[in-house]
């Protein structure tokens, strides 16, 4: 059975009949026929498209760098205002919602706590509660499956725009399931409907859905990028290149002080499950170490079922640090609107991971340390699963 998206089921119903509708979307908000949700709403009988909201990187996803705000604009084709929710505000204001009856959220998540789109959705729920607007979240696949849950939990005091709620790094939920969790378990209380998919199963990766993969943000160009991202996103908290400025961000990693062959041999000797490390030299065109030769590796996932992206990412961070502790550094703030805490700590969800790496705790022991909290999260998560 082919996967039918939440948008397909919403537009096949009469839920939006006679309503003024705004939509939170970006270029990945397409259906299997590569029709965009904004275009479908603009011509849908009985629907008035009142506004468009764009997440980080913009409605058109044309702002490459992180932490670069996008401005508000007017869409000349659809003749509506486009509001940025990565600007002076990350929450829709009363003025933005003044002529809106229903706020539709149709965003493609990547399955990792550290991704601002799910918090843009959460902020929309908060604003909708304040201003009496209904929210409909159209569910989409978790591109890296809905079974595996892995990684340290976000702890109180480390909340940020890359982590508002206590989730593990790899949460194993769809964006619709997250909406239910945020709205109920974390007390938002908005008037929320989630439109489930049909035909999606928790074991499915995105390439089993039959839906074209459109990069959800500029540095997640492929499904392979998304598969490794729950672990290699940690490099955003270091001075090691996470591959921005290359054609394989988050898969290619490197630093000027590393010799690639020796580094890859050391990583492969760890025997991490489901993965092989190929020696690679990169020269990023922008971002960290731009135009500098960096040694490191490319991550090749050989077995998705056994691969542990977070444990792998931690082992890689530790290896880059061990290669030259004097040149390795934790990135200083600011990072994603946080000006005090270290970026690595808000990425990991606490200071524990950084301190464990600094003490030389092996990645497998670090992985074992979060099993109890992750099991507790699974029990909470179970109440909000749709599939």
Residue 71: pLDDT band with limits 50, 70, 90: confident
- Please state which CATH class domain 223-373 belongs to: alpha beta
Cα–Cα nearest to 347, from 192, 234, 213, 214: 234
| Chain segment 96-138, per-residue pLDDT in tens | 999 999 999 999 999 999 999 999 999 999 999 999 999 999 9
Cβ partners under 8 Å of residue 126, min gap 6: 91, 188, 190
Q: Give start-end residues of each CATH 3.40.50.12170 domain in the chain.
A: 6-214
Model pTM score: 0.96
Cβ partners under 8 Å of residue 197, min gap 6: 3, 4, 5, 6, 9, 139, 140, 141, 174, 176, 387
| Chain segment 142-182, per-residue pLDDT in tens | 999 999 999 999 999 999 999 999 999 999 999 999 999 99
| Chain segment 46-58, per-residue pLDDT in tens | 999 999 999 999 8
Distance CA 136, CA 197 (A): 13
Q: Whose structure tokens read 């921005």?
A: 244
Q: Identify the pLDDT of residue 70.
A: 85
Query: Does pLDDT of 64 surpass 80?
Result: no
Q: Identify the pLDDT of residue 53.
A: 97
Mean pLDDT, the chain, rounded, equals: 96
Cβ partners under 8 Å of residue 165, min gap 6: 122, 154, 159, 181, 182, 186
Q: Torsions phi, psi of 341, nearest 5?
A: -70, 150
Distance CA 278, CA 229 (A): 17
Q: Which fold has domain 6-214?
A: Rossmann fold (3.40.50)
Distance CA 11, CA 9 (A): 6
Q: Identify the pLDDT of residue 325.
A: 98
Q: Identify the pLDDT of residue 268.
A: 98
Q: Identify the pLDDT of residue 69.
A: 82
The tokens describing 130, both together, are 């304040």
Q: Give start-end residues of each CATH 3.90.1150.140 domain in the chain.
A: 223-373
| Chain segment 135-150, per-residue pLDDT in tens | 999 999 999 999 999 9
CB-based burial of residue 339 (10 Å sphere; 0-12 exposed, 13-18 middle, 19+ buried)? Answer: exposed
Distance CA 151, CA 112 (A): 10
C-alpha 177, offset from chain centre: 14
| Chain segment 326-348, per-residue pLDDT in tens | 999 999 999 998 999 999 999 99
């Amino acid at each position: 059975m082919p996967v039918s998206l939440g948008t397909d089921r919403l537009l096949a119903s009469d839920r939006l009949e006679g309503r003024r509708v705004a939509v939170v979307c970006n270029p990945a908000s397409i259906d299997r026929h590569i029709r965009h949700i904004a275009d479908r709403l603009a011509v849908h009988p009985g629907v008035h498209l009142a506004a468009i909201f764009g997440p980080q990187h913009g409605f058109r996803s044309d702002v490459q760098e992180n932490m670069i705000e996008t401005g508000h604009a007017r869409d000349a084709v659809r003749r509506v205002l486009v509001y940025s929710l990565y600007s002076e505000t990350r929450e829709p204001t009363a003025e933005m919602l003044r002529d809106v009856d229903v706020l539709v959220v149709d965003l493609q998540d990547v399955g990792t706590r550290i991704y601002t789109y799910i918090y843009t959705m959460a902020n929309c729920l908060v604003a909708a509660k304040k201003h009496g607007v209904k929210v409909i979240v159209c569910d989409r696949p978790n591109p890296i499956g809905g079974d595996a849950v892995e990684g340290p939990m976000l702890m109180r005091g480390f909340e940020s725009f890359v982590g508002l709620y206590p989730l593990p790094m790899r949460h194993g939920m769809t964006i619709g399931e997250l909406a239910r969790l945020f709205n109920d378990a974390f007390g938002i209380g908005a008037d929320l409907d989630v439109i489930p998919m049909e035909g999606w199963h928790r074991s499915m990766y995105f390439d089993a859905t039959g839906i074209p993969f459109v990069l959800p943000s500029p540095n997640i160009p492929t499904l392979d990028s998304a598969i490794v991202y729950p672990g290699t996103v940690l490099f955003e908290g270091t001075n090691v290149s996470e591959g921005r400025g290359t054609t394989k961000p988050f898969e290619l990693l490197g630093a000027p002080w590393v010799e690639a062959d020796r580094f890859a041999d050391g990583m492969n000797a760890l025997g991490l499950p489901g993965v092989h490390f190929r020696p690679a030299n990169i020269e990023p065109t922008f971002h960290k170490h731009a135009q500098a030769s960096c040694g490191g590796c490319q991550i090749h996932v050989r077995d998705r079922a056994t691969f542990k992206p977070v444990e792998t990412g931690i082992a890689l961070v530790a290896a880059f640090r061990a290669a030259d502790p004097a040149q390795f550094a934790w990135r200083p703030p600011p990072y994603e609107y946080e000006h005090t805490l270290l970026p690595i700590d808000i990425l990991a969800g606490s200071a524990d991971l950084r301190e464990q790496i600094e003490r030389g705790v092996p990645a497998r022991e670090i992985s074992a340390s979060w099993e109890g909290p992750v099991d507790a999260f699974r029990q909470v998560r179970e109440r909000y699963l749709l599939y």
